[in-house]
């Protein structure tokens, strides 16, 4: 889900379909709470659509920064 790798190959990754399946599977294994699962799914939708904070100029610039660590 690192934006440096995801966004340049977004169309290819989403066409394959395995990305979303893997995230959903991981989410349901990690969290029993359906509200948390739904929240993560909604954030995934925003990430993929580049909405809200994912579409801000700083977020777009950081996608090009190979050293940016979104997990930190």
Does the pTM surpass 0.85? The reply is no
pLDDT score recorded for residue 36: 95
For residue range 27-47, list pLDDT tens digits in order. 999 999 999 999 999 998 888
- Decide if 41 contacts 24 (C-beta within 8 A): yes
Domain map (residue ranges) of the chain: 3-62
Percent above pLDDT 70 for the chain: 96
pLDDT in tens, the chain (72 residues): 778 888 888 888 888 888 888 989 999 999 999 999 999 999 988 888 888 988 889 888 888 887 777 667
Taking CA atoms, 32 is separated from 1, 12, 39, 69, in Å, by: 22, 31, 12, 27
């Amino acid at each position: 889900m690192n934006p440096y790798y995801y966004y340049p190959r977004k169309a290819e990754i989403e066409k394959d379909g395995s990305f979303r399946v893997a995230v959903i599977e991981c989410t349901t294994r990690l969290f029993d709470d359906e509200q948390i699962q739904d929240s993560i799914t909604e954030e995934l939708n925003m990430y993929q659509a580049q909405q809200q904070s994912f579409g801000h100029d700083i977020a777009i610039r950081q996608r090009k920064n190979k050293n940016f660590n979104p997990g930190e």
